[in-house]
Amino acid sequence: MNKLEESVLHISIIVIALLANRKITYEFSVPKYAFITLFALLIVILLLIEWSKKNRFELSLHLSFANLLWFIFAACALLSTLYVFQNNRFYFRYSIDIALYTLLTAFMAVYFSNRARSRDVITRLLLTFLASGMVVAIDSLLNFYTGTSIFFERVGNPFYRGSIRASVGNVIFVTNYLGMLLPVSIYFIISNNYGWKNAKKKEYVMVKIFSLVYFLLALTVIAIGQTRSEYIALTIMICLFAFFYLIYRKNKEREEAPFGGQLKRFNRIIFVLLVILSIVVLVVYNTDNPLTKYGTVSLFGRFAPEVFASNAEERLLAWLSAVEQWKESKWIGTGIGTYQILAIEELAKVMEKHPRFLYVWNNFKRTHNDYFQVLGEMGVLGFSTLVVLGVLLGVYALNRFKRLQSLEDFLLFLAMSLGFVGFMVQSFFSFPGHLLPNSLLAIFYASVATGVYFNPAENGFLSWKITLRGFKLAVILVAVLFTVLSTTYLKWNYFLSEVYFKNGSGSYSFLANLDSEKNRLEQLEKTLLARLDELENLSGPFVNLRPENFKIENLDPVELEKRRVNQIASIRNNLVSDLGKVRNGLKEIQQLQQQHSKLAKENLLKSVRMNHTYGKSYFYLASLALRPERINELTGALKAAKTSVLTQSYDEYQRVIAPQFRSSDLLFLIDLKRYSPNSVDENTMAYLQAILDSCALFKTSLLSFNERNTYKALAARYATLAGAIKNLRERLSYLQQDETGRMFLSKLDGLYEKYGEEFIDWARGTVYRLPGSWSRYPEWKNPDTLRAVRGEDIYRFLAVQLASFEPLTSDRAIEFLQYLARREIWACEAMAAKRVWAVPDGAAMVLLAAAHSLKAQDPVLSEQILKAMQEDYRPSFERIVTELQRLDLKKSIDEYLSQVSNAIERILSEEDIPSVRIKSVRSIVEGLSDQIESQFKSANWKIAIDNELAAIQNGEVNKVHTLVSDLPNAMFNEVQRLFANVIKDQDRLNQAVQEIKSVVNSVPLALKLWERYSRFVAFYTILEEVSR
């Protein structure tokens, strides 16, 4: 290996390990993959230049069993893409991208096996890896203790393990990368000869000190990272190192140390320091002290039974889902890289069989076990190849431990082997093979350990020396060039696609903030206009400015009137000034909306045009397609008679829709408008088409990006479509007068049925794929009653969506509501079994209202539904009655008031309010306990539920009676009044009020559950009464 080639390798190791920029991409590894292919291409060019200088068209290679099996594994990856090509051709590009990269790593392994021919080259490259690990370790400590980073500004909160990202991206893979390098650092500490020619003693000493510092820093990061799998991997590595070293070191030849006994003595000293300081690190990070934030960090805390059980079941769910995936295609798998788009389906299958997993559902994109993921994606062929490779690597390692004569070579081989073991152990619990630099280091370890240096061809074990000539060599060269060039293109293409997505999603997020601010300013505008109106009429808060009410003693009437008029003018000027500022703000927001809507659209479209498998971009485009500015654009196009709008071939939004999801459902509206010009306007057509486009884009996203909210969004879109078509149909009922008109109405009826069925399919799919897990995703079922009614309860949300377009008494509605209710009951009982709160009240109210409404039409069916409901809900009722009895309402109220009064004391103390007055305010707040308890206990929930049922029957689905949701508002007003009595400065008062707001809004979960339980008990009582 010449100096230029080695220099390129050193640079590539540093770049791959440390390259990270969150402003460019979300995933840290995406640019790393792009650059590793670029470096691979550069290496190939250097090798071709070197090889072209030779006069012979032949190439001699060392090929080990590991190289051969990895090529077979790569072939299995390529073979697996046939399943993708057959079943989801849209996704084939992504799958072949990963398969080709796998093939590239096989060529990389051959390269390392053959080019790393000497100890000095190997140790220099390992030292570069170690240097990159040092930077990662230092940055990880900064992440943990300060929440900052060398590479970024802020990464999270101090003393939070999730803040540890460094340039790798995740605490698990940071600790794994550092752990993989620990055996190498030990090698540098105890080795007498690195193979460096003309090295100075100072260089050896500096390397050993550097390695000691690295070991201690890496061990510290692993300790604070609290990654259980890495603790296991580290323990295994240390035990194996000690075991094999003690067994085999006696029979090895000791090379002469370059600097004699001095270096050996230094080795002993630094090794003793390593042992002592390592023990100190482990003791320090398992005791209460400032470095652990007095117990925040604990080496054994993450092994607590309740934490370990939950995480273990979460991993087991992912693993079992891979087994379900494997059943789809047992021999070649469903295709490499497909788990991320099939996971939601496979997880649902596992949960159907084992409901105990409902509470640990997560939107997995990886199996968290690379072996199971290989089984699912590459079938028996890929999995068996991996198993054979693992077994043979173990056999080979034992052979080399015995056969290697030099103690230095043995130590180097042992260090690299155990670093690879750490990678293999972590791969059982996570996916380090998917990330760089971890996978690059693993490839280097395995390929060099099985390469020509440790296993020369003349006495090779499971290796062969081959010479390629003529046609065979030409084929290999073409294969290498094709693999490198195609992989470079695909990885850079994916990288740039994510860059565009990052920019587009940033503009999209900014749009959401602008929409929120616009709504606030519009409300403020209405308030100011109302105030101006009240000022003109001298009503409301300005009634005291009427002549008869405006009194100031000892003031001349003329002066009094003048002062009154001046005060009115001053108030009017202030209101007009504020109104002007608000309107200027609205204009500015409108300009920003247009600007960022355009930027979001352009960047997201560039993302999918560059790489059509970047599904997240379609997900955002589906929402952008419904922006008012786009609907206006479609309206203008329809007015210009551009019918391509209704065939989904007009604009870029429509042109990126997958062909199988394109439709022209609304094209007949053009004929309808010709037939009856006033029947439907262009704006209505544009609105309906925009919803259809949004649905098609969401469906397109599912081909390469499976996200739980996609199903919910599709259900909501189709409910809106069905409702809009229904309203249009009712408005056009006058067209029944002739046959042509009836034909158009028949088409509208057909669309209504179609979109209604689409809603039911996607709604069922939503709760089939994710029936529970609200312990992780509270917006799926929020314990707060008001938030649940307003959309944060998936079961109620879907029931309400149905009610928005379908009569509750129809067969379709009854059947769907019964399915929804039973699904919710099943999910709640499964969640409750894992001690997660669970009240099946989402679909219950709408179903009961439907049964009530049905009594007039079909009393027999109504009675059957009510009896069935009573039986279905009885187990939940009995459980909830017991849980309600366990809740201590008084204790929960006191806990809430205590947290509020503590916050009040802290805030008022900072304002230098006398302690006597603070105690007075606290006593007033804490004295509200009995009043609040009395109000809660006196609530008649039966009447409240009866009123809500009547409201649902009348179409008021969001009417709800809640005490807990009203409590923060009442408490906030009371605290504001108390603050106003003790804080006279208005600015300081406003600041104090804002500071207390978050505390007042933090109502304890127990209080929320008390209300939910009480409401459900009242609901079931009513159900029993009406069922008699």
Q: How much is the average pLDDT of 712-726?
A: 95
Q: Is the pLDDT of residue 44 over 80?
A: yes
Lowest mean pLDDT among 71-75, 567-571, 815-819: 567-571
In DSSP notation, 480-541 reads HHHHHHHHHHHHHHHHHHHHHHHHHHHHHHHHHHHHHHHHHHHHHHHHHHHHHHHHHHT-GG
CB of 177 closer than 8 Å to CB of 221? no
**DSSP H helix total and E strand total for the chain:** 35, 2
Among the residue ranges 555-559, 566-570, 1002-1006, the one predicted with the least confidence is 555-559
| Mean pLDDT for the chain overall | 90
Distance CA 1018, CA 676 (A): 53
Tell whether the model's pLDDT for residue 971 goes beyond 60. yes
The residue among 925, 905, 913 whose CA lies nearest residue 977 is 925
Pair 195, 134: CB distance under 8 Å: no
- Cα 193 vs. chain centroid, distance in angstroms? 48
For residue 440, is pLDDT > 60? Answer: yes
Q: What is the pLDDT of residue 260?
A: 64
Q: Say what the pLDDT of residue 380 is.
A: 96
Residue with tokens 């101090």: 158
368-405 confidence digits (pLDDT tens): 999 999 999 999 999 999 999 999 999 999 999 988 88
Residue 79 pairs with which residues in a beta bridge? Answer: none
Tell me which residue has tokens 């309206």. 635
Residue 325's pLDDT band (cuts 50, 70, 90): very high
The residue-averaged pLDDT of 568-575 equals: 86
pLDDT of residue 999: 86
Query: How high is the pLDDT of residue 206?
Result: 93
**Buried b or exposed e, range 686-720, using 16+ CB within 10 angstroms:** bbbbbbbbbbbbbbbbbbbbbbbebbbbbbbbbbb
Q: Alpha-carbon distance 736 to 749, whole Å?
A: 13
pLDDT at 307: 58
pLDDT, position 907: 83
Residue 86: HSE in the Cβ half-sphere, 13 Å Cα cutoff: 10
Rounded to whole angstroms, the Cα distance separating 357 from 691 reads 35
Instruction: Report pLDDT for 788.
Output: 92
pLDDT, average across residues 353-377: 92
The least confident of 113-127, 195-209, 530-544, 842-856 is: 530-544
d(CA 750, CA 746): 6
Contact status, residue 499 vs residue 601, Cβ threshold 8 Å: no
92 vs 955, which has greater pLDDT?
A: 92
**For residue 261, is pLDDT > 80?**
no
Rounded to whole angstroms, how far apart are CA atoms 987 and 909? 17
pLDDT in tens, 929-945: 888 889 888 889 999 99
Give the confidence band of 912 by pLDDT, cuts at 50, 70, 90.
confident
Element (H, E) at 61: strand 58-64
Residue 628 has pLDDT above 70, yes or no: yes
Of 435 and 292, the structure prediction assigns the larger pLDDT to: 435
pLDDT for 259 equals 67
**5 close to 46: Cβ distance less than 8 angstroms:** yes
Express each pLDDT in 737-759 by its tens digit. Answer: 889 999 999 999 999 999 999 99
624 touches 599 (CB < 8 A): no
Calpha distance 211→205 (Å, rounded): 10
The tokens for 940 are: 């008649």
Gap between the Cα atoms of 251 and 263, Å rounded: 22
At 664, the pLDDT band (50, 70, 90 cuts) reads very high
Share of the chain above pLDDT 90, in %: 61
Contacts of 145 (CB under 8 A, 6+ apart): 158, 159
Instruction: Annotate 551-562 with three-state secondary structure.
Output: CCCCCCHHHHHH
> Residue 301: is its pLDDT beyond 80?
no
Helices (H), 363-406: 370-403
| Model confidence pLDDT, tens digit, residues 521-540 | 989 888 889 888 888 888 87
Whether 102 and 336 have beta carbons less than 8 Å apart is answered as yes
Per DSSP, the three-state class of 703 is coil
Global confidence as pTM: 0.90
Average pLDDT over residues 752-769: 95
Residue 2 is encoded by which pair of tokens?
């010449």
Are the CB atoms for 626 and 669 separated by under 8 Å? no
pLDDT of residue 973: 85
Domain ranges for the chain, please list them.
614-770, 826-1028
pLDDT at residue 1020, rounded to an integer: 94
Residue of 599, 614, 597 whose CA lies nearest to 496? 614
Residue 488 confidence (pLDDT): 96
- 483 pLDDT more than 70: yes
Cβ count near 8 (within 10 Å): 16
Looking up tokens 């390392």, which residue turns up? 112
The pLDDT, as a whole number, for residue 738 is 87
* Mean pLDDT to the nearest integer, 624-652: 93
